[in-house]
Chain A
Amino acid sequence: MKKILLSLMAVSLFTNMVFAGGSITIAGSTTVLPIAQVTSEVFMDNNPGIDISVRGGGSSVGIASLIAGTCDIGDASRAIKDKEIAKAVDNGIQPKAHVVAMDGIAVIVHPSNGINKISKKDLKSIFTGKISDWSQVGGSGGKIVVMSRDSASGTYEAFMGLALDGSKTRSDSLLQASNQAVASVVSRTPGAIGYVGLGYVTSQVKSIPVNGIECTKATVLSGEYPLSRPLFMYTNGEPEGVVKEYMDFVKSAEGQKLAEEQGFVGLK
């Protein structure tokens, strides 16, 4: 019996030593989730012994867990609020923001569509159901077929926040399961309008400027384009140790390339 106990202790000591590389807990925004997942997978492959666990939950959950000290990195698709900063300071936490990528959402129509620009106001009217015909926004007439993403997706959430000011999308909008599906259906439906991450705009669809500003990498990075926003990872003070190593990796050219593969706009 003693022998078993002893060997168990030895094993547990040994495993502790193996994982002494450290562990990171990440929680928060479902929009940032894919970036966190992909970068942490590659980071763990490159640094065996470091263990990263990634959870979703939403931006508020991410910041709340950082304040509560239950995660090392809190993901958020919005900036931290004053109230949250006050609460963090009370808890002895100094949230530091790191922009890890930009989210840019392009508005796309069928290439044959005569419309060449749209205002943010008309865009909102179309997606909330106030406008249903192309002639009402300067097009050549015909029913507008509204393509949206599934209501659980990060792109939907971003679009609802940036373009619709939090209003509901019309109930007869066609919900597609992926950015590719939206682009593919819009490219085959003359009366369609949809939105996709900038990385998914193809030559088979027409991306139209919103409020006169075209959706390009440059306008998204400068924040000029109306449907763009920065995506954050928050740490407690300046990151140190493994957290710093990971944050440096996310901001490196390789990390930014991984973010772009997920449909975001990289900073480099």
Chain B
Amino acid sequence: MIDAIKFRNYKENTYKWIFTILAFSSLVFLVGIIIVLFKEGLPIFKEVNLFKFLFGKSWYPTYDPPEFGIFPLMLASFWVMIGATIVCVPLGIGSALYLHELASFKQRAFLKPLIEMLAGVPSIVYGFFGMVIVAPFIQKLFNIPVGLSLFTASMILGIMAVPTVCSITEDALSYVPKSFREASFAVGANRWQTLTKVIIPAAGSGISTAIILGMSRIVGETMTVLMVSGGAAIIPKSIFDPVRPMTATIAAEMGECAMGSKHFHALFAIGLILFLVTLFFNIIAEIISRRYRLKLGLGR
């Protein structure tokens, strides 16, 4: 009898340890990635000073002497992010509002999985679609020299981020307590007033989180921008100029640069900057969503 209990405790403890190790393994990976990023990225600053690296205007990593100015790359990432956000915010929030407020049960059962399927399409398929169909179409439509541009990249990435924005916004809307809506109706507000004056403000920080996570997804996206943004490391003067975001640079050049070279370290330094940017976005999103839980009385 005692032996059986002992055995059970032993078994339970084993399981406990296994799951503890599993839970902490992702932490180990994260720490590993951070260490590697710093270790491989920082050596470039011995060769090029930080200011020149961040604000230098030409990126000729293999030319002799090489130039490592990532300003055009950072600007490209920034503009693509802004452009894609302009596309994905109305689409994502609009569809979430429709799904939550207006859609019948049948429409919802049909639309929601469909929007989520957008998230399941591999990014290379978006890239291929953009390169082969969208870019030539835009090139003919606006009669511009080439369709691979900031504009095309923003459009495709914006569509890719719709599921992220939509599903988090919808979650935020569904967290708004029913009592809020009922109270609003009780004082005589109509459906539109309830939506704009009560539901959206109450879900506001949740919606902001959705937008920020959408932006973070856009900044980190690689394969699609590599294929549709054109890849010219210039400071864009119009939305139809080709650009070269940071992720695309790393993806395109890492495979062919010599390990341990300056170029290699410079690419890691770009990765480090990207990591810090997305970390910043995620921290902001976390802070906002925590505040919002407290505001609605859902805090722990």
Interface residues of A, Cβ cutoff 8 Å to B: 30, 56-58, 142-145, 150-154, 156-157, 166, 168, 171-177, 181, 184-185, 188-189, 191-192
- Cα–Cα distance between A144 and B146 once the two chains are bound (Å): 10
Residues 210-237 of B, flagged 1 when their CB comes within 8 A of A and 0 if not, give 0000000000000000110011111000
* B253-A151 in contact (CB<8A): yes
List the B side residues contacting A184 at CB < 8 Å.
131-132
List the A side residues contacting B34 at CB < 8 Å.
none
**Chain B residue with Cβ nearest A167:** B63
* A152-B263 in contact (CB<8A): yes
List the A side residues contacting B148 at CB < 8 Å.
174, 185
Closest 5 CB pairs of A and B: A175-B231, A152-B256, A143-B145, A152-B253, A150-B252
- Cα–Cα distance between A177 and B147 once the two chains are bound (Å): 17
* B63-A151 in contact (CB<8A): yes
List the B side residues contacting A145 at CB < 8 Å.
145-146
* A175-B258 in contact (CB<8A): no
List the A side residues contacting B147 at CB < 8 Å.
188-189
* B256-A153 in contact (CB<8A): yes
* A30-B58 in contact (CB<8A): no
Query: Is B242 among interface residues, defined by CB-CB distance under 8 A?
Result: yes
Query: Is B135 among interface residues, defined by CB-CB distance under 8 A?
Result: yes
Query: Is B278 among interface residues, defined by CB-CB distance under 8 A?
Result: no
* A57-B258 in contact (CB<8A): yes
* A174-B63 in contact (CB<8A): no
Query: Is B244 among interface residues, defined by CB-CB distance under 8 A?
Result: yes
- Cα–Cα distance between A175 and B245 once the two chains are bound (Å): 12
- Cα–Cα distance between A166 and B65 once the two chains are bound (Å): 12
List the A side residues contacting B233 at CB < 8 Å.
171, 175
Residues 43 to 87 of chain B near chain A (Cβ within 8 Å):
58, 60-64, 72
- Cα–Cα distance between A244 and B114 once the two chains are bound (Å): 60
Query: Is B296 among interface residues, defined by CB-CB distance under 8 A?
Result: no
Secondary structure at the B interface, as helix, strand, loop or mixed, is loop
* B242-A177 in contact (CB<8A): no
* B256-A174 in contact (CB<8A): no
Other than A56-B258, A175-B231, A185-B146, give 17 A-B pairs with Cβ distance below 8 A.
A30-B258, A143-B145, A150-B256, A151-B61, A151-B63, A152-B253, A152-B255, A168-B60, A171-B58, A171-B233, A173-B232, A175-B233, A177-B226, A177-B251, A184-B132, A189-B139, A189-B145
- Cα–Cα distance between A237 and B263 once the two chains are bound (Å): 34
- Cα–Cα distance between A150 and B234 once the two chains are bound (Å): 14
CB distance from B127 to the nearest CB of A (A): 10
List the A side residues contacting B131 at CB < 8 Å.
181, 184-185
* B232-A171 in contact (CB<8A): yes
- Cα–Cα distance between A188 and B132 once the two chains are bound (Å): 8
List the A side residues contacting B263 at CB < 8 Å.
152
- Cα–Cα distance between A181 and B258 once the two chains are bound (Å): 23
**Chain A residue with Cβ nearest B244:** A175
CB distance from A186 to the nearest CB of B (A): 10
Residues 157 to 181 of chain B near chain A (Cβ within 8 Å):
none
* B60-A151 in contact (CB<8A): yes
Q: List 8 A-B contacts (CB under 8 A).
A: A30-B256, A58-B258, A150-B231, A150-B253, A152-B263, A171-B58, A174-B146, A184-B131
CB distance from A235 to the nearest CB of B (A): 22
> How many interface contacts (CB-CB < 8 Å) are there between A and B?
82
Residues 246 to 264 of chain B near chain A (Cβ within 8 Å):
251-253, 255-258, 263
CB distance from A219 to the nearest CB of B (A): 27
List the B side residues contacting A56 at CB < 8 Å.
258
* B231-A176 in contact (CB<8A): yes
CB distance from B141 to the nearest CB of A (A): 14
- Cα–Cα distance between A191 and B140 once the two chains are bound (Å): 12
- Cα–Cα distance between A57 and B58 once the two chains are bound (Å): 24
- Cα–Cα distance between A156 and B278 once the two chains are bound (Å): 32
Query: Is B136 among interface residues, defined by CB-CB distance under 8 A?
Result: yes
Residue from A143, A152, A172, A185 within 8 A of B62 (CB atoms):
A152
CB distance from A72 to the nearest CB of B (A): 20
* A174-B230 in contact (CB<8A): yes
- Cα–Cα distance between A192 and B135 once the two chains are bound (Å): 14
- Cα–Cα distance between A166 and B72 once the two chains are bound (Å): 23
CB distance from A184 to the nearest CB of B (A): 7
* A168-B63 in contact (CB<8A): yes
**Chain A residue with Cβ nearest B237:** A172
- Cα–Cα distance between A245 and B251 once the two chains are bound (Å): 37
**Chain B residue with Cβ nearest A191:** B145
List the B side residues contacting A185 at CB < 8 Å.
131, 135, 146, 148
CB distance from B245 to the nearest CB of A (A): 12
* B234-A172 in contact (CB<8A): yes
* B60-A175 in contact (CB<8A): no
- Cα–Cα distance between A189 and B132 once the two chains are bound (Å): 11
B61, B135, B230, B263: most-surrounded residue (chain A CB, <10 A): B230
**Chain B residue with Cβ nearest A189:** B146
